[in-house]
Amino acid sequence: MTHPESDRRLDDVLQSMRGEIEPGRDLWPGIESRLEHRPLRPRWPAWAWQAAAAVALVAVSSLVTAAFVRQWSVPVVQAPAARPRVVPASYASGPALNADYEAARRQLAADLEQRLATLPPSARQKLEANLAEMRRAAEEINAALARQPGDALLEELLMNTYQDELGVLASVKQLTGTGVGPAPARQEKIRL
Amino acid sequence: MAGAANESEFERARRVAEERRLVESAAQGSSGAFERLYRLHAGKVYGLCLRMTGHRETAEDCTQEAFVQAWRNLARFEARSSFGTWLHRIAVNAVLAQGRRRGERVGAEASIEDEIGETLADGTVGDTGAGMDVEAAIAGLPAGARHVLVLAGVYGYSHEETAEMLGVAVGTCKAQLHRARQLLGQRLAAAEGSR
């Protein structure tokens, strides 16, 4: 049985053995008795992962932009007259945020327009695009939360979006302002 | 022939779609859908477990464990592979875990030969009885060699896939397969000589 011919025969026999073998008894009752009869958590839709990835990407992109601008010490430039308005992410239908976060966000958002006007056009355009992307992601997550209220994973994703937006707003303030305090620490988790 | 081939493809597509629907329902908590999946896949999973363990009762335990684990992890099934392939991997893990608990006791006391003879009456392994001899010879191999032979030799997994499933190095997998084939060849030759 060491010749190539017998090897081929053995291969043929082995490959012919893939057939199904039905159990001698019905195993289902034993399986069913061990199943936890509780609704499993709905699967996270693919777009939610894409939204999370997009938020992470724009956050990193914004920070890189901020670092770039800071490095080159760009002089103040005048904003164009007709510039699309940047609207920070709307979380109206999302879970209530704690007061500290809302106050910080309101403060940062309030002077966003003014501070963006001091950035060079390319950096401003990038930041605006990133904030718009965050707004879109937050709206999608909020819509999903409306359909699946209390979904822990979606809430966590929304919280991360809040954090990322806050980080970008703070970066804008840091790189354009004077005597401004540090950006909120990413580690300081927002509490619902 | 083309019509038959098209019909076959259509049937296959329909089966895949139906299975996807069952997986979705089961993932939402439908035990009825999961029972349908069990009925569709029990023969494949039990066949794998029986060949890997060489022991009927152990194979039944592993089959049950595999389906319970599948139920618990359905939400993680991403459909990048087929459900059957995913289930196969879970079954292999169930067999390995069972082997560790049992100290890898090879099933000698309850030969699978009768089981194979009863359940493969359609001549899947040949009509001369050689297939039954091979099944019995495989069941008698040392556990490591048997696992590699079943996964790589019978089910056609690559050395890399087999090694990954068994948690061994690829080189070990190749050596075990070589050893298993040698042992199997010797046993089959001895069986032929004694007839």
Task: Give the separation between CA A183 and CA A187, rounded to whole angstroms.
Answer: 11
How far is the C-alpha of A116 from the C-alpha of A172, rounded, in Å?
A: 7
Contact B42 A23 (CB under 8 A): yes
B114 near B89, Cβ under 8 Å?
no
How close A147 comes to chain B (CA, Å)?
15
Q: Which of the residues in chain B have pLDDT under 70?
A: 1-7, 104-132, 195
CA distance A84 to B4: 61
So what's the pLDDT on residue A114? Answer: 74
pLDDT tens figures, B165-180: 999 999 999 999 999 9
For residue A106, name the pLDDT band (cuts at 50, 70, 90). Answer: confident
What pLDDT was estimated at residue A56? 65
Q: Give the pLDDT score at B125.
A: 31
Q: Which of A2, A7, A11, A17 to mutate to test the interface with B (most CBs of B within 10 A)?
A: A17
pLDDT at B116: 40
Using one digit for the tens of pLDDT, what is the confidence trace for B108-130? 333 344 434 433 333 333 333 45
pLDDT at res. A22: 93
Q: Find the chain A residues whose C-beta atoms sit closer than 8 A to any C-beta of B.
A: 1-2, 6-7, 10-11, 13-25, 27-28, 30-32, 34-43
In contact, A189 and A132? CB cutoff 8 Å: no
A92: pLDDT confidence band, cut at 50, 70 and 90?
A: very low
CATH topology of domain B14-110: Rna Polymerase Sigma Factor; Chain: A (1.10.1740)
pLDDT of res. B44: 95
Angle at B4 between CA B2 and CA B8, to 5 degrees: 115
Model confidence at A130: pLDDT above 90: no
All structural domains of chain B with their residue ranges: 14-110, 123-195
* Axis-axis angle for helices B83-101, B159-166 (nearest 10): 50
pLDDT at A58: 65
The answer to whether residues A174 and A180 touch, using CB atoms and an 8 Å cutoff, is yes
The model carries a pTM of: 0.54
Q: Residue B66's closest chain A neighbor by CA?
A: A31
Of residues A2 and B144, the one with the higher pLDDT is: B144
Q: In chain A, pLDDT over 90 holds for what percent of residues?
A: 8
Minimal CA–CA distance to B125: which of B141, B110, B137?
B137
Cβ distance of B154 and A17 shorter than 8 Å: yes
**pLDDT band for position A117 (cuts 50, 70, 90):** confident
Question: With contacts defined as CB-CB under 8 Å, which chain A residues touch B46?
Answer: 20-23, 27
Note the CATH number of domain B123-195.
1.10.10.10
A40, B74: Cβ pair inside 8 Å? yes
pLDDT band at residue A98 using 50, 70 and 90 as cut-offs: low
This model of the complex carries an ipTM of 0.78
A-chain residues near B189 (CB < 8 A): 1
Task: Delimit the domains of chain A by residue range.
Answer: 46-76+83-176
Contact call for B131 and A39, based on CB within 8 A: no
- The whole-number average pLDDT for the span A63-77 is 56
Angle at A120 between CA A118 and CA A122, to 5 degrees: 135
H helical segments located in chain B:
2-27, 31-53, 56-72, 83-101, 113-119, 130-139, 143-148, 159-166, 170-194
Residue that is written with structure tokens 């032929």 in the block: B192
Looking at residue B37, what is its pLDDT? 96
Give the per-residue pLDDT at A137.
78
Q: Do B189 and A1 touch (CB under 8 A)?
A: yes
- Chain B residue closest to A15 (CA)? B154
Q: How distant is the Cα of A74 from the closest Cα of chain B, in angstroms?
A: 47
For A146-190, write each residue's pLDDT tens digit.
766 666 666 767 777 777 777 777 777 666 664 444 444 443 444
SS (H, E, C) chain A: CCCHHHHHHHHHHHHCCCCCCCCCCCCHHHHHCCCCCCCCCCCCCHHHHHHHHHHHHHHHHHHHHHHHHHHHCCCCCCCCCCCCCCCCCCCCCCCCCCHHHHHHHHHHHHCHHHHHCCCCHHHHHHHHHHHHHHHHHHHHHHHHHHHCCCCHHHHHHHHHHHHHHHHHHHHHHHHHCCCCCCCCCCCCCCCC
Nearest chain B residue to A14 by CA distance is: B154
